[in-house]
Amino acid sequence: MREMVKVSAPGKLMLFGEHAVIYHRPCIVTAVDQRMIVEIKPAREEKLLLDAPGVGIKGYSKKIKDLACGEVPKGVRFIETGIRNFFQKYKVKQGIEVKTKAGFSSEVGFGSSAAVTVGVAAGLAQLFKIRLSRKQLFDLTYKTVLDVQGVGSGFDLAASIWGGTLYFVTGGKKVIPLKINQLPLIVGYTGIKADTPTMVKKVANLRKNNKKLVDSIFDQMSFLTNKAKVTLSKGNFKKTGGLMNLNQGLLDALGVNTKELADLIFATRKAGAWGAKLSGAGGGDCMIALVPGKMRRKAEKAIERAGGKALKIKPNAEGVRAE
């Protein structure tokens, strides 16, 4: 066993197929250069000792045998459950000290829960010298997400593990890295924290009352995602932008857009973007736009004028790695 390990895992942005991916349709997701850093070292007592300042956790302590039992603070659930699942699967038991440091706020919607879940599992594998393939790491972390929240497609875990830009189908049935050298993407943040479970529930209720109609929307999203897989791979960003605009229309139909997101989307289109849409569950968080290089600064200024914040983000980032 090593004395200390340090790993980092990237956050993500959804490019195509949000909500539809929950219902077994494909999506396209890109890893971003904002990273979650996880440090793990052995502890003398059979306890988890945790500092996670990004979610307000300092000096947290719990016996290893009690992990994921009883009352678990929100910011600790994925870490506790992930450690328990790793220990059970690989028949190890050891007190450990974990420190996390986020390169991005959990408020922004870059998938901090997925990034920390992946970082902890990859760190434990290094600590105990257990070789895991990407698929094994995905399966282990996907189980953790399902244990914690009951549902989830796993696209954010895949982005943290594989990195780059991925074509993904629910539960990791397909994980296909797209060969993309660059992605001229800009990101605008509304300043409003999205409540993802509420938005997912909203779409589920809409589907319950209009199943054929909503499923047809998901099918159209699937069609757009498959088209975008081709246009992105060819580096045709103008066509991909047009597909983004169509995807946004379908998200509007699902009722997950907001005025704040729409303001930023229309501002970037007016400033010369090839296409723009919300990214993620909707209800807040971020929007994205594909923009020609010479229009980038103009589009970023348009986001600021429309009341948003242009974030300095690089997409297509490297997956989980040792630091």
CB burial string 207-245: b at 16+ within 10 A, e below? beeeeeebeebbebbbebbbbbbebbeeeebebbbbbbb
| Contacts for 41 with CB less than 8 Å, ≥ 6 apart | 3, 4, 5, 96, 97, 127
Longest dimension (CA), the chain: 60
CB 322 within 8 A of CB 7: yes
CB 36 within 8 A of CB 95: no
State which amino acid sits at residue 175: V
CB burial string 110-144: b at 16+ within 10 A, e below? bbbbbbbbbbbbbbbbbbbeeebebeebbbbbbeb
- DSSP structure string for 270-287: HTT-SEEEEESSSSSSEE
In DSSP terms, 187 is beta-bridged to 288, 311
Residue 113: φ, ψ to 5°: -65, -45
Token output for 264: 């930023």
Give me the count of residues in the chain: 323
Active site residues: 156
**Terminal Cα distance for the chain, rounded:** 17
> Which parts of the chain are beta strand (E)?
5-16, 26-42, 47-52, 57-63, 96-102, 165-169, 174-177, 185-189, 275-279, 286-290, 309-311, 321-322
Q: How far apart are CA 4 and CA 40, in angstroms?
A: 6
